[in-house]
Structure 1
Amino acid sequence: MKFFIFFFPLLLFAQPKTTPKAIDERLKKSNFLLVDGKTDDMITLNLSVLKDAKSIDYPKGRLYAYYNLALAFSMQYKYNKSNYYLKLMEPEFKYMDDESQEIAMNVVYSMNYRGIKMYDEAIKKLKKNLIPADHIKNDSTRYSLKGILLTQITRNYIEKKNYDSATHYGKSVIQELKGAKKMDIGLNTNLKIVTLLLGEAKLHQNKIDSAEFYLKSAQSVPIQLGNNEFAAFKLSGQIHDARKHYDSAVTDYEKAIELAAKIKNFRKLAELYGLISAVHEKTGQSGNQKKYELKYNTLNDSLRKIDENNLKDTVGLLVEEKQKPLEYRNNLLFYIILAGIMGTAVIVFFVYKRIRNKNKVLNVKEQEAQELNQKLNFAFEEVILLAKKNDPEFLARFQEVYPEFFPKLLKIEPQLLSTELKFCALLFLNFSTKDIAAYTFVQPQSIQTRKNRLRKKLNITSDEDIYIWMQNITNKA
């Protein structure tokens, strides 16, 4: 016992100290885990890094750990958790001026928007950061960030099926990278990814030769993407499929499925199940066709549920993001108006009589009321148009225009799904059963069934008009 007591101080002294250098080394390890698609290990590592960085008050360690956690959760489709860590990043920029990391943060925000199919919001976020990226002094960092931003824009345009714009921005990445003096691992990785995206865009345009050109160009880039090489096998399989080389297509798809499964890229995995199932159907192999079709349907159903939850969680973020510049402009406008009123009051006091002054104030108030009504009418028309187009942005824009509506509903029934919230919004806007059926591509009978279900969930009695109930909900306590 005495022996242990004697050596105990030495054992304490021998424990490895937490230092900024040690934290930086662990952050580098996180990058390798990202490339291998080991997001669970990446999360475990960065939670540990974050704890140690806080213990020694190391701002860079905190900032990068928050970013890595946000990125890992985004790749796992857990956008709410991802946004949580992105929010924690923002205050850190007060202690550490890192413009490049701020841009990287906004890229992850855009990835989360893309994940819930808000492609226009994602593109706006990315384009807004192109100018700050242009002003970064370090050449390597500037080329890297601009390449990432443009590549992400390309990806969003492909998701939107706007292949001409995707091609334009994809080619601009290649053009941008030509200016780099030295192509490092990061730049080559970006080049390979965007070249594969260009191939995908051409494939969707049925330009098979062009798709194959970009595939070969990507394969010639001196970098391996590890398990992310599934993208190259997927594109190769699609080209073989288009040329009716079905055996080769199946081989490529099987390899792509193996790699996508390793990194748990379930969205691409579901897409690959659908592609290989279609090939087996063309070759008359009904057994394999049904096997992969079942896998596709099962995974797709799971992803649909994830999407519903993510949409509900992320709508609040979108509204908050849009309110930031509005709050700034409103505050600025308030001070401008206040200064203007004070100046006018002084002039009026000396120049005009009290009666004229009263008339002027009344006219100003009347004009302001008219302007407010015009703004409300425009916002209402914009929401109506988004609803008619069944636009993914409808829910977020509705929440922005009518901020009290969803919270009131969720107070009554917290378990409402995003699809049910959207349906309530359409009822609030007074769309008829026939209109809702037409805009959402379902049968009118289904709309009536949904109304009945909502009545039960929200305790709306059968003698109450559901439209009037929705209109009056914001007046309820």
Structure 2
Amino acid sequence: MNLKKALFIFFILFFSNIAFGQKSKEQLDSLYLQLNVLRAEGKFKEAIVLCKELISGYESIKEDKASVKGYIFIANTYSNLYNTKESLRYLDIAAAKSENLNDDEIQIRINGEYGRCYHNLGFYTLALNHYKKAIHLAQKNKRKKDLEYLYGLRSVIYEHQKDYKNMYADLLKAHLASPTTYTSSRLAKYYISLDKNMDSARYYLEAGEKYSSSKMLPIFQKSVLDRNWGRYYLEKGDYKTAVSYLEKSISISEKLNKPQDIMETQKILAQAYKLMNEYKKASENFENYSAIHDSLSVEKQKIYDLPVKKIIREKDLKNQKSYTTLYVIVTITIVLFIIIYIYTLKKYNSKKRESSALLTIKEEENLQLQQKVNESFENIVQLAKSNSPEFFTRFQEVYPEVINELLKIDPKLRVSELTLCAYIYLGFNAKDIATYTFRTISTVRNRKHNLRTKLNIPTEETTELWFKNLGKRLY
């Protein structure tokens, strides 16, 4: 940490401690306004430090609503840093503390941030459900800034799903609700990449420049604007100008430590350098893009270590009551087994009895797991046959041990390779896989051959038999 940054944080802590010591809500509220300034400048870590102190101050004077807003702010900031695990942790705290507040504004923000986290994890349906709830409340309360934020977030999911009609509709709604540099830039991207209307694209880019003059403009919006100016000039054939804008965009994203934005811009830069016949630079940028892509995939895998039951509960709020009952039963069962185990250990002090208790617990867990797998198998098969983008995500929820075991063998396995493993594990042959994934049989066979090498499958054992034996070992 450099001296300037250290002094800045010291100033925040020193000043905030004075305010908190006086326990004045007015002073806390005044200091809270500084959070938006820090976030706009991209000083996310400093904002988190200050916000934690603010939460402590609000909680000390029993200002529940203000403290909940603080937790939501931290969750949003961690999401900006692509730390989804920490973002979810603070959102869970905010959700628990807001249960008795009956405040639509807070529910809008909580649902919006949950949607953003689940989007990062690839749970698009779950994310869309949260956005729908948040948008409904925002419309009801006529909160235009929230609508701009939520429509913008939802449009990104539609873009990933290649649902460009709904993507464009949401971008227009966001822009009409509260025009910003971000919405203008995204609309320009639509006209550049999809509609090929360069006049409309330039109109929105210039509008974005106008909005960027605001002192409170979050600096990341400028990176988005520069990236889309890069797209614009790339499409116009002015490659040098395109590269200039793209480099400025990357510089901002690196300062903000936003790997997703860096990755997206690196890919466009690689294309620009290729068109300029600068193949070395094109290769370097594409390699950087691939490295970040793989790194983010690994981080996403780590997030799946969160309890699967929690993800399922959040994914289907309509069945929350039945799920809650199930969790209570499972918890009581586990507690009972623990009590029996301790009682038996103290009374008999027998290794045989201890092993028996542990075995009983293991069998119960296996039975519950097998029941869950049986209920979910048909759904997963249907997702596989329809080549659904949610297939691999759903497979991970039901068979987390399979993915973990494969990554133990080769931690560098890509998502595409793990998806192929999922098809093979479910019993699909090469012909079926080729049919459902719209690839040739030879392509599938070549990929299976590469998998054999990476997974060290013995030559005398078929790939299908190896995966079958893997399932027997795990379940």
**Structure-1-length-normalised TM-score:** 0.71
1:223 alignment partner AA: S
The answer to whether residue 119 in structure 2 is matched with residue 114 in structure 1 is: yes
User: 1:251-277: CA deviations, max 9, x gaps?
Assistant: 211221222222122211122222223
Q: What are structure 2's unaligned runs of at least 5 residues?
A: 1-16, 326-372
**Structure-2-length-normalised TM-score:** 0.71
The answer to whether residue 172 in structure 2 is matched with residue 171 in structure 1 is: yes
Pairing of 1:388-403 with structure 2 (within 5 A) = 388-398=385-395, 402=398
Counterpart Cα distance in 2 of 1:14 and 1:44:
15
1:147 alignment partner AA: E
- Partners of 1:119 and 1:159 within 8 A in 2: no
Counterpart Cα distance in 2 of 1:307 and 1:172:
31
What secondary structure does 2:22 align onto? coil
Counterpart Cα distance in 2 of 1:247 and 1:310:
40
Counterpart Cα distance in 1 of 2:249 and 2:324:
53
The answer to whether residue 321 in structure 2 is matched with residue 324 in structure 1 is: no
- Partners of 1:133 and 1:146 within 8 A in 2: yes
Match of 2:133 among 90, 107, 128: 128
What secondary structure does 1:129 align onto? helix
- Partners of 1:106 and 1:125 within 8 A in 2: yes
Which residue matches 1:82?
87
Counterpart Cα distance in 2 of 1:413 and 1:217:
47
Which residue matches 1:269?
262
The answer to whether residue 28 in structure 2 is matched with residue 36 in structure 1 is: no
Counterpart Cα distance in 2 of 1:305 and 1:14:
42
Instruction: State which drifts further: 407-416 or 106-115.
Output: 407-416
2:428 alignment partner AA: F
- Say if 1:50 and 1:311 are closer, same or farther in 2 by CA, change over 3 A: same
The answer to whether residue 207 in structure 2 is matched with residue 217 in structure 1 is: yes
Counterpart Cα distance in 1 of 2:403 and 2:125:
27
How far the C-alpha of 1:67 sits from its partner, in A, is 0.8
- Partners of 2:380 and 2:391 within 8 A in 1: yes
Which residue matches 1:406?
400
Pairing of 1:278-297 with structure 2 (within 5 A) = 278-297=271-290
2:288 alignment partner AA: K
How far the C-alpha of 1:453 sits from its partner, in A, is 6.7
Match of 2:298 among 288, 301, 305: 305
Which residue matches 1:6?
none
Counterpart Cα distance in 2 of 1:211 and 1:202:
5
How far the C-alpha of 1:125 sits from its partner, in A, is 2.0
Which residue matches 1:150?
151
Which residue matches 1:386?
383
The answer to whether residue 243 in structure 2 is matched with residue 243 in structure 1 is: no
Counterpart Cα distance in 2 of 1:300 and 1:22:
44
Which residue matches 1:255?
248
Counterpart Cα distance in 2 of 1:198 and 1:14:
43
2:156 alignment partner AA: R
What secondary structure does 1:220 align onto? helix
Q: What are structure 1's unaligned runs of at least 5 residues?
A: 1-11, 178-186, 333-375
The answer to whether residue 186 in structure 2 is matched with residue 197 in structure 1 is: yes
- Partners of 1:406 and 1:421 within 8 A in 2: no
User: 1:23-51: CA deviations, max 9, x gaps?
Assistant: 32333222222212222112222222333
Counterpart Cα distance in 2 of 1:115 and 1:312:
15
Counterpart Cα distance in 2 of 1:265 and 1:84:
20
Counterpart Cα distance in 2 of 1:165 and 1:247:
34
- Say if 1:319 and 1:210 are closer, same or farther in 2 by CA, change over 3 A: same
- Say if 1:314 and 1:426 are closer, same or farther in 2 by CA, change over 3 A: farther
Counterpart Cα distance in 2 of 1:14 and 1:431:
64
Counterpart Cα distance in 2 of 1:71 and 1:467:
41
2:384 alignment partner AA: A
Instruction: State which drifts further: 159-168 or 63-72.
Output: 159-168
How far the C-alpha of 1:422 sits from its partner, in A, is 5.6
Which residue matches 2:197?
207
